[in-house]
A = this chain, B = another copy of it.
Amino acid sequence: MQIGIVGLGLIGGSLGLDLRALGHRVYGIARRPDTCVAAVGLGAVDSATSDLASLAPVDLVMVCTPIAAIAPTVEALAPHLSPETVVTDVGSVKGAVVTAAAAHWPWFVGGHPMAGKAEAGLAAAEANLFVNRAYVVTPLAETPPAAISRVQDLAQSLQAKVLTCSPSDHDRAVAWISHLPVMVSSSLIQACLQESDGTVLALAKALASSGFASTSRVGGGNPELGMMMARYNREALLESLRNYQDQLTQLTQLIDGEQWSTLEALLTRSQQARPEFL
C-alpha cells in the first residue's frame, strides 16, 4: 500500500519503521524541514514534506498529531484525497475526535495503539513498538465496513492485539485505567506537599521509596498530556473521579470507625481483583 503519516513523532516514526519493513511505501508529513530530513535518514519514511497535497496517491493516512490537531488535520487533508482513502488517527481519546473527524471524512476510522515510552519525539521511535500491545479500533455505526477492516488489518500486521469498540466505550475504559490513575497519582504528590511541619516533610522525602515511587509515577508525568486527557475525556473522567472519591470515603470511614476486619476484607478484594487487569 501507499501510506501517509502526518506527524513524525514517537508514534508516527515508529509506525513508519514498521510499515516500511512490511513493504509499504510511506509518505511523511511534518511541519519542520529538519524533521522531514531526520525521518528519511532514520528510515521511518520514504519521503517527507510539509505539503498535504503530496498525499494524493495514498490508500491510507495515519494522523499522528497531538489530539487537538487531529480533526483540523483531517479537514485540511480532505480536498487532497481520493474518495475511498481511509483516514485513521492514533489519539488517546476517541469520542470527540472521531465525531469531528468523520464529519470531514466519512472514511475516517478512529484508532488508538496503546504503546508509549517515557521519551517523546522522532528520536525515540523504534521498530516493533506495537507488538503484543493493544490497538483499539473505534468505528461509528455509519463507518463503511471496508474502511474498518483496512485499519484492523493494518493493526494486525503490526502484531498488535486488535480490539474493536465504540468511541464512547473506549473513552470510559481508558478513563478508568489510564486517566483516573494520573489524577489519583498527582493528588498523592500534591497531598504530601501540604505537610506544614518542615521536619516531617523532610523526613517524608528522605523515607519515600519504592511504594511512593510506583504510586506517584504517572502523576509526575507530562503535564500537557495529563491536561489533554482531562480536556478531551472530561465527562468519563469526572464519572470515574466521583466513583473513586466514593470508594476512598468508604475506606476512610472504615479506618475512622476502626472496622479492621471489614477493612482487611476490602484490601483482600483489591489484592484479588488486581491480576484481572494485568
Interface residues of A (CB under 8 A from B): 114, 116, 133-134, 136, 163, 165, 169-170, 172-174, 176-178, 180-195, 197, 199-200, 203-224, 226-227, 230-231, 234, 237-238, 240-252, 255-256, 258, 260, 263-271, 273-278
Contact = CB atoms under 8 A, between A and B. Distances in A.
B264 A227 contact: yes
Nearest to A276: B205
Given A178-B207, A215-B214, A189 B270 contact: yes
B184 A248 contact: yes
Contacts of A215: 181, 184-185, 214-215, 217-218
Contacts of A268: 223
13 contacts: A177-B208, A180-B192, A182-B267, A183-B252, A183-B255, A184-B184, A187-B247, A190-B250, A191-B247, A208-B277, A220-B274, A227-B263, A241-B255
A175 to B, nearest CB: 9
Given A136-B207, A248-B183, A273 B189 contact: yes
Contacts of A278: 208, 212-213
B241 A178 contact: no
Number of copies: 2
Given A177-B207, A213-B277, 8 more contacts: A134-B206, A136-B207, A182-B211, A183-B255, A188-B244, A189-B277, A193-B269, A237-B255
A207 B260 contact: no
A200 B169 contact: yes
Contacts of A245: 245, 248-249, 252
A213 B114 CA distance: 14
B220 A270 contact: yes
Given A189-B274, A190-B270, A219-B270, A173 B247 contact: no
A184 B181 CA distance: 10
Contact of A258 (B212, B234, B248, B267): B234
B200 A263 contact: no
Given A255-B234, A270-B189, A214 B217 contact: yes
A169 B203 contact: yes
A209 B114 contact: yes
Given A248-B184, A274-B220, A172 B190 contact: no
Nearest to A240: B191
